[in-house]
Structure 1
Amino acid sequence: MSTAQHLAAIDLLRSREFPAEHGWSNGGVGGPGYHIAELLTSGDFWEDDGTEWEATEEQYEAERDGLTVLLAERWGAPQIFSLASLFERSSGDEYGGESDAGEDIPEPWGSLSSSVPDLHLWRVDGRWIALGVSQWDRELPFQLLAVVTETDPP
């Protein structure tokens, strides 16, 4: 997907109604109050010695940063929003100790905190728009994600 296609996908997400139920759709997942679109997905890293992984991580962060520059021209500088504390809260490990259950973090923030370290975040027309780089595990693909939600960050 080209940068123009990424911007078009973000604009489409902004204009769409949110689904009534959680589920998959073309290019991503959505639910009540949110859309998450996979703009770009890499290959996996099962046979990688780390070289390809590092280059891919840099590439995906550069893609996110390039889109951030273009979106900042529209909406101003983004907030950089760390999801680390949300992940700790949801896992019940907020203070480094073990716990039976974590806090229930609203979607899409709960899911994002499992694989996205931070988001570039804007508030536009009553909705949050975010860009992030996701990776679930070292062997799994990177994804450039676009998020549109009406749910405030916790």
Structure 2
Amino acid sequence: MVSGAPEFTARVSGDVAAIEALRTGPYTPPWAGCADPGRSAAGDDYAIVALRTSQDFYAAGDGGESVGAAHEAFETERWGVVLALDERWGPHRPLSLDAYAEQDEEGAPVPPFCAALFELGYYGDLQVWHVEGREVGVGVGQMDQEEPVVLFALITASTPVGQGSRVRPCPA
């Protein structure tokens, strides 16, 4: 957990620096700022990189309080990163993964980066920017209640293979 303002500011600055390096680097590892390669993934036109992971919660035994506190801390850090990137690149846009998740559950095709996100257990909303030919996203995920909470970055080509256009929110 982040203990104070200087540590929080340092984490956010480190996350932003890692995301900037990822945005301009290759999709393949090694990745700048990767906290856990096992909670990261790559394809021909994307990289999903775990920037920070919490402890696991197998032995927490506190009725979920530790998980809740970790989610709160990681969401706070995510929004610190979002605000910093908004200042750098302009306003983000939300990308809900809900429609993609439904398609995936029904066996319908989804963009490869979405399939990789779901395999890692990263559902929910992302905050996304289009920057110099790539899409950059930030999110928080958790495979299940006993697994670590993860702050991750998504970097993908503006024209993902087979999609024909920029990454956009799915229709509801």
| Shared fold, TM over 0.5 | yes
Q: Counterpart of 1:108 in 2: which secondary structure?
A: helix
Structure 2 residue aligned with 1:131: 138
C-alpha deviation, 1:4, in angstroms: 2.0
Question: d(CA) in 2 for partners of 1:2 and 1:58?
Answer: 15
Structure 2 residue aligned with 1:32: 44
Question: d(CA) in 1 for partners of 2:44 and 2:146?
Answer: 31
Question: d(CA) in 2 for partners of 1:68 and 1:115?
Answer: 17
TM-score between both structures, scaled by the size of structure 1: 0.84
Structure 1 residue aligned with 2:26: 17
Higher helix share goes to which structure?
Answer: 2
Q: Counterpart of 1:139 in 2: which secondary structure?
A: coil
Q: Percent identity?
A: 33
Structure 2 residue aligned with 1:121: 128
Structure 2 residue aligned with 1:97: none
Question: d(CA) in 1 for partners of 2:141 and 2:103?
Answer: 19
Structure 2 residue aligned with 1:3: 12
Structure 1 residue aligned with 2:114: 109
How many matched pairs?
A: 141
The amino acid that maps onto 2:41 is V
Question: d(CA) in 1 for partners of 2:135 and 2:46?
Answer: 9
- Residue 90 (1) aligns with residue 104 (2): yes
The amino acid that maps onto 2:44 is P
Structure 1 residue aligned with 2:6: none
**Stretches of structure 2 lacking an aligned partner (at least 5 in a row):** 1-9, 35-39, 161-165
Runs of 4+ in 1 over 6 A off after TM superposition: none
TM-score between both structures, scaled by the size of structure 2: 0.75
**Matches for 1:46-61 after TM superposition, within 5 Å:** 46-48=58-60, 49-61=63-75
C-alpha deviation, 1:7, in angstroms: 1.3
Higher strand share goes to which structure?
Answer: 1
Structure 1 residue aligned with 2:88: 74
**Stretches of structure 1 lacking an aligned partner (at least 5 in a row):** 93-101
